[in-house]
């Protein structure tokens, strides 16, 4: 029987730590400020944004959503981002992706002040994550989902025990797969990134001591793809149809088949998802502290 990695509990602990740090910042100035930009009414995005705002406020962060119509142009969204860049009370800016069709996502991400980029998607932050070796710079804004995965792995195996392990990350997105591979490299894992063009994906997966699925295909990772004793992190969030018509969330891992073989596994829901939001709050505190330190130096 695998250890079920309780992302909900880990996220609650992280949020509690963040709330303490927010209170310290508030007591010596003002609470960190977070603005989430939502263009349009994509239902999943709207739900994610509501959760982010609620959790941020519960931690004491000055959080608000900036809503734009689905027809908002690249220029209009850029203007909002530039305004938030200039606003001294805003420490963190998150533009909820995907943006409506036709909007130049790349231009928007590039426009965010890297010091306020709490999603960690700006090339400045991506570059710092990938180009420097050694320990993570303590002020670096790392993408939230991969950071959440790393924290769960460290909690499960112990930080030092990651060194030398064979890790396979299935999925090469800029949001999850690639930054997670960089994080695992920094913890001295031997990392393979597999993707849609990988030959014999099952065989690649079987070699993994740490297997991460970040694909978006329900149940892709089958039981016989997983080595006995592997630690499995399931990032996938897929809604599948159910008879009652309400649908159900499942991951990229065929849980019932994989769980008996794994040493530890994250459930969906209740695994990586809650950690993503908690890491966003932690990044907001990090950004607020770094901006305060930079202001003192000026």
Taking the complex as a whole, the smallest distance from the CB of residue 294 to ligand NAD amounts, in Å, to 29
96 among known catalytic residues: yes
Q: Which residues bind ligand NAD (CB under 6 A)?
A: 145, 170-173, 175-177, 195-196, 198, 201, 214-217, 220, 235-238, 272-273, 276
Residue 6 neighbours by CB distance under 10 Å: 16
Taking the complex as a whole, the smallest distance from the CB of residue 198 to ligand NAD amounts, in Å, to 6
82 among known catalytic residues: no
Alpha-carbon distance of 147 to 151, in angstroms, equals 6
Are residues 45 and 98 in contact, defined by beta-carbon separation less than 8 angstroms?
yes
Alpha-carbon distance of 226 to 205, in angstroms, equals 6
Are residues 190 and 211 in contact, defined by beta-carbon separation less than 8 angstroms?
no
106 among known catalytic residues: no
Quick one: 45 or 74, whose CB is closer to ligand NAD? 45
Residue 194, Cβ density class (10 Å: 0-12 exposed, 13-18 middle, ≥19 buried): buried
Taking the complex as a whole, the smallest distance from the CB of residue 179 to ligand NAD amounts, in Å, to 10
Taking the complex as a whole, the smallest distance from the CB of residue 178 to ligand NAD amounts, in Å, to 8
Cα 161 from chain centre = 22
Alpha-carbon distance of 233 to 265, in angstroms, equals 6
Quick one: 81 or 96, whose CB is closer to ligand NAD? 96
Task: Out of 119, 182, 234, 252, pick the active-site residue.
Answer: 119
Taking the complex as a whole, the smallest distance from the CB of residue 84 to ligand NAD amounts, in Å, to 23
Strands in 264-265's sheet, in edge-to-edge order, are: 3-4, 264-265, 231-234, 210-213, 166-170, 190-194
Residue 135, Cβ density class (10 Å: 0-12 exposed, 13-18 middle, ≥19 buried): exposed
Q: How far is CA 127 from CA 154, 182, 205, in A?
A: 23, 10, 28
Among candidate residues 281, 296, 279, 298, the one with its CA nearest the CA of residue 136: 279
CB nearest ligand NAD: which residue?
173
Could you tell me where the DSSP H helices lie in 191-267?
A: 201-206, 255-258
Alpha-carbon distance of 289 to 172, in angstroms, equals 31
Task: Out of 62, 91, 96, 116, pick the active-site residue.
Answer: 96
Taking the complex as a whole, the smallest distance from the CB of residue 225 to ligand NAD amounts, in Å, to 11
Quick one: 130 or 216, whose CB is closer to ligand NAD? 216
Quick one: 67 or 217, whose CB is closer to ligand NAD? 217
Catalytic residues: 52, 96, 119
């Amino acid at each position: 029987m695998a250890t079920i990695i309780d992302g909900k509990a880990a996220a609650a602990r992280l949020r509690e730590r963040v709330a303490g740090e927010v209170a310290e910042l508030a007591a010596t100035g003002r609470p960190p400020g977070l603005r989430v930009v939502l263009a349009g009414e994509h239902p999943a995005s709207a739900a994610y944004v509501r959760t982010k705002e609620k959790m941020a406020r519960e931690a004491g962060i000055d959080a608000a959503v900036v809503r734009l119509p689905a027809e908002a142009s690249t220029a209009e969204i850029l203007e909002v981002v530039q305004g938030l860049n200039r606003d001294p009370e805003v420490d963190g800016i998150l533009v909820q992706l995907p943006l409506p069709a036709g909007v130049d996502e790349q231009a928007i991400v590039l426009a965010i002040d890297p010091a306020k980029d709490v999603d960690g998607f700006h090339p400045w932050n991506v570059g710092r994550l990938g180009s420097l070796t050694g320990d993570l710079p303590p002020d670096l804004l790392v993408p939230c989902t991969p950071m959440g995965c790393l924290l769960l792995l460290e909690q499960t195996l112990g930080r030092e025990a990651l060194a030398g392990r064979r890790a396979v990350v299935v999925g090469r997105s800029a949001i999850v797969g690639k930054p997670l591979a960089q994080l695992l490299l920094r913890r001295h894992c031997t990392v393979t990134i597999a993707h849609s063009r990988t030959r014999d994906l099952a065989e690649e997966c079987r070699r993994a001591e740490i297997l991460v699925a970040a694909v978006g295909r329900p149940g892709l990772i089958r039981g016989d793809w997983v080595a006995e004793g592997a630690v499995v992190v399931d990032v996938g969030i897929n809604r599948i149809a159910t008879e009652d018509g309400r649908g159900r969330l499942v991951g990229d891992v065929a849980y019932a088949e994989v769980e008996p073989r794994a040493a530890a596994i994250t459930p969906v829901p209740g695994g990586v998802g809650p950690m993503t939001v908690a890491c966003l709050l932690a990044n907001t505190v990090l950004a607020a502290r770094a901006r305060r330190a930079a202001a003192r130096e000026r």
